[in-house]
């Protein structure tokens, strides 16, 4: 019995010594390279300045990604024709992908849709916003530093049981232009 007690005490001291040495090694080690944080914010639409009723697509985003952790909100609005009521999407950001050294950003969100002034439609909806940065003009030659695209015939996204995947999204056609900004900060 004595041998077992001493053996346990020796093992406990050894474990304590290893834990202490491990903690000292971690404290002395240089900090690991920090992960950058990307924040996409802003809004855009496809309306023309002289005709407010011409607007049929809107998008507003405030999304952040640090490593694989994402958060924020995405709201979109759209209508098939003008004048008409807007389909309104509001959701939580579930994915964010920064491509081409920040020239393109894809944001996915999962949420609800309702027709302007009406209760939510049944089920959940997946929405994808793609923003491309550069120099763009709308049909009346107004200049913009970003353009965007959203899913759905009237910008409402797609009914879905699961959140969207940003890895499969691509920029296909322009829904509108706007004042989006991508910020990158070191962690």
Summarize pLDDT for 38-63 with one digit per residue, the tens: 999 999 888 765 566 666 788 999 99
13 & 44 share domain: no
- Stretches in the chain below the pLDDT threshold 70: 1-33, 48-55, 82-83, 171-172, 187
**pLDDT the model gives residue 173:** 72
Same domain, 109 and 154: yes
- What is the model's pTM? 0.76
Whole-number mean pLDDT of the chain?
A: 80
Instruction: Give the H or E element holding residue 50.
Output: none
Query: Domain residues for 139?
Result: 37-185
Q: Could you give the C-alpha distances from 45 to 2, 29, 30, 147, 158, in angstroms and in order?
A: 80, 50, 47, 9, 19
- In terms of domains, do 61 and 111 share one? yes
């Amino acid at each position: 019995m004595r041998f077992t007690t001493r053996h346990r005490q020796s093992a406990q001291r050894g474990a304590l010594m290893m834990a202490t040495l491990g903690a000292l090694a971690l404290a002395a080690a240089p900090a690991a390279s920090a992960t950058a944080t990307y924040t996409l914010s802003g809004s855009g639409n496809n309306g023309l300045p002289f005709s407010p009723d011409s607007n049929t697509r809107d998008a507003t985003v405030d999304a952040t990604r640090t490593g694989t952790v994402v958060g924020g909100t995405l709201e979109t609005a759209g209508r098939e024709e003008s004048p008409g009521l807007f389909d309104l999407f509001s959701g939580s950001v579930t994915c964010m992908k920064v491509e081409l050294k920040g020239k393109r950003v894809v944001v996915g969100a999962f949420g609800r849709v309702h027709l302007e002034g009406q209760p939510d439609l049944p089920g959940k909806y997946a929405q994808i916003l793609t923003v491309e940065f550069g120099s763009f003009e709308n049909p009346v030659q107004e200049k913009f530093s970003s353009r965007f695209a959203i899913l759905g015939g009237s910008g409402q996204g797609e009914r879905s049981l699961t959140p969207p995947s940003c890895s499969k999204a691509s920029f296909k056609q322009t829904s509108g232009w706007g004042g989006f900004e991508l910020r990158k900060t070191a962690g």
